[in-house]
Structure 1
Amino acid sequence: MLYHQTPENSSTVQSFYRIAPELRAHYQLLIVNNSADSDGSGQYEDAVVKNFKANQGLAKAYNLGLGYASQYDLDWLMLFDQDSTFDSKYLQAFEAAQQQYQSEAAVAAIVPQVKQGNVALAPSVASPAFNSKVLTAGEYTNITSINSGTMLRVQSMTRVGGFNEAFPLDFLDYWIFWRLRQAQLKTVVLPATLQHELSVMDLKSMADVRYTSFAAGEQLFYSKYEVTGKRAWHQHKVLRIGKLLLTGNFNKAKINLRYW
């Protein structure tokens, strides 16, 4: 999915087109452009391009991808944001895992180990909430990860009703893995590593509009879905607000209080 970026400037799209053609042929690429100034729908080097003409969010784009996958009888849907970097070995690792777990219906997701530089970001233990333990390769049920680089079984996502459009951007990934846990489905973590630029790594420098989206998604997730983590969330917010006040980030402190 693209936002204010062309395919030529997207590290994800360019990573895909650096893959050997014989490997690329195993995939059907759908590029969703959420930019208001995007051109009409068309083709980009054998990829289907869909322009939303407005920022309609990740969930709507992912549901479009899920619909395409169902239409073409594909078994798996791989999600990518615009700012991930991968290579042939990465895709080959997923293809091997796909074949290994194809008949194991309890496995609904296959994810990489996500890093930003040398910092491990995901996947991590889902419960208790705000657990910072990053997981290594293996099969898990108590797990959460990020959207980009995740491969999801189409049948499993259809079974749980697709992607929740109440989360247009932030905390959609939390909801996806929460929903898979509720359905008692497994996630496989591969040794493969995905380099990804995660915008929420630095909340203090985030624009207030985007920070509001983050706070709204967080509130919705812990108040309606992962309710067992609500107390930990409130405790975390108290610490966060204190730090924001001490550093003079009064607007962001107010936003946190608004989405309590």
Structure 2
Amino acid sequence: MTNKILVVIVLYGINLEDSLTYQTLNLSVTESDSIVDLFVYDNSATCNKINVQNNKFNIIYKSDTTNSGISKAYNKAADYASECQKDWLLFLDQDSNIPKNLFSVFNEFKDKFSNEKLFVPVLKQNNIILSPCKFKFMKGSSFSSVLPGILSLENVSVFNSGIFIDLNAFRKVGGYDENVPLDFSDHSFIFRYKKWFSNIVVIPIVIEHELSSKSSDQTIILRRFIQYCKGVRAFSSIEGGKGLLFFWTALRAVKLSFQFKNFQYIKILFDKN
């Protein structure tokens, strides 16, 4: 079954061989009896050479030095998957710890819930569930626990990393909206998906995930806040809820302003919205 999945890793500012996702994914496919097609979409400012030699992967490398974003990367991966007659896409970021049994558990649950089109792991950071998450009034919040199996998408959303999506379903919902290149790309996709499908399947896999927004580097935090504001504007222009999104973003801007004694966050808030 692994040969019917196109695995997708999106990179930025890191070589493939240094990616935690690639390193741990390598362990998860060691026992596979087929070569895994790995689509690497590199949003870094420079085109990097692939310096890995691994007979378990057929690596397809695409460089995008303009950093078009995650949404375009996933859509390009889907185009390639169609050409290669794949059935499933697995989306991964660059810094997740992939469990060894990811594929075997997915195959088990895919057979058990054969009519479902979207299978998701549980993403955690510091033992807090990041995804799936509650999503109500245009704001995400954590579940205290998530059970494996069918989960209704009513007031629920999912992060990008670790999801298995049926390729035909991906096409049916229109793929990712490239007008939402990074922040809110996952919520935007789920909004599209739930217009056609009601449920997802949670698989009993926990992936340790690192949010860049949790960085302590003020330069990174400021850059991420600018990107976040752009995401808010793009997402709200498509799905509505601009007032609510502006309110939550304003609270974030005020918190960051007092935390770092830097009121540039307030200025960015109004400049980008």
TM-score band, normalised by shorter chain: 0.7 to 0.9
Structure-1-length-normalised TM-score: 0.87
Instruction: Report the TM-score when normalising by structure 2.
Output: 0.83
Q: 1:28 maps to which residue?
A: 37
Aligned counterparts of 2:215 and 2:50: Cα–Cα separation in 1: 34
Q: Does residue 1:10 correspond to 2:19, yes or no?
A: yes
Q: 1:214 aligns with which of 214, 228, 231?
A: 228
More divergent stretch after superposition (198-207 vs 152-161): 198-207
CA distance in 1, matches of 2:258, 2:102: 42
Residue segments in structure 1 that go unaligned for 5+ positions in a row = none
CA distance in 2, matches of 1:43, 1:21: 15
**Structure 1, 17-26 or 246-255: larger mean CA deviation:** 17-26
CA positional deviation for 1:44 = 5.3
Counterpart for residue 159 of structure 1: 172
The whole-number CA distance in structure 2 between the counterparts of 1:36 and 1:147 is 22
Task: Tell me if structure 2 keeps the 8 A contact 1:203–1:211.
Answer: no
2:104 alignment partner in structure 1: 92
Deviation sequence 1:88-115 (CA, Å, 0-9, x none):
222221121222233x1xx331111101
Contact kept, 8 Å, 1:145 with 1:174, in 2: the verdict is: yes
Structure 2 CA distance, aligned partners of 1:67 and 1:41? 22
Query: More deviation in 45-54 or 191-200?
Result: 45-54
| d(CA) in 2 for partners of 1:211, 1:24 | 44
Which range is displaced more, 133-142 or 152-161?
133-142
Contact 2:175 2:189 in 1 (8 A): no
* Contact persistence 2:230–2:272 (CA under 8 A): yes
Distance of 1:8 and 1:43 partners within structure 2? 6
Task: Report the secondary structure of 2:269's partner residue.
Answer: helix
Matches within 5 A, 1:92-241: 92-102=104-114, 104=115, 107-134=116-143, 136-137=146-147, 138-139=149-150, 140-142=152-154, 143-201=156-214, 205=218, 206-225=220-239, 227=240, 229-241=241-253
Query: Residue 238 and residue 209 in structure 1: after superposition, are their counterparts in 2 closer, same or farther (change >3 A)?
Result: closer
Q: Distance in 1 between matches of 2:15 and 2:258?
A: 39
For residues 36-55 of structure 1, the aligned pairs below 5 Å read 36-39=45-48, 45=54, 46-55=58-67
SS of aligned partner of 1:28: strand
TM-superposed CA distance for 1:116, in Å, is 1.4
Q: 1:234 to 1:10 in 2, by over 3 A?
A: same
For the 8 Å contact 2:71–2:185, the answer to whether it is kept is yes
Give 1:88's aligned amino acid.
K
Change in 2 beyond 3 A, CA 1:24/1:144: farther
| Structure 1 residues 141-164: Cα deviation after superposition (integer angstroms, max 9, x where no partner) | 222111111111111110122211
Over residues 26-76 of structure 1, what are the superposed CA-to-partner deviations in whole Å (9 max), with x where a residue is unaligned?
Answer: 632111122232246898533222222342211111111111221122221
Distance 1:121 1:69, change over 3 A: same
Alignment identity in percent?
A: 28
Q: 1:234 to 1:51 in 2, by over 3 A?
A: closer
| Contact kept in structure 2, 1:108 and 1:180, CA below 8 Å | no
Q: Does 1:68 align with 2:80?
A: yes
Residue by residue over 1:121-145, the C-alpha shift from the partner in whole angstroms, topping out at 9 and shown as x without a partner, is 1111223332414261332222211
Gaps of 5+ in 2: 1-9
Going from structure 1 to structure 2, the CA distance change for 1:21 and 1:10 (only over 3 Å counts) comes to: same
Structure 1 letter corresponding to 2:202: V
Q: Secondary structure at the match of 2:24?
A: helix
Query: CA distance change for structure 1 residues 61 and 131 in 2, over 3 Å: closer, same or farther?
Result: closer
Count of residues paired in the alignment: 255
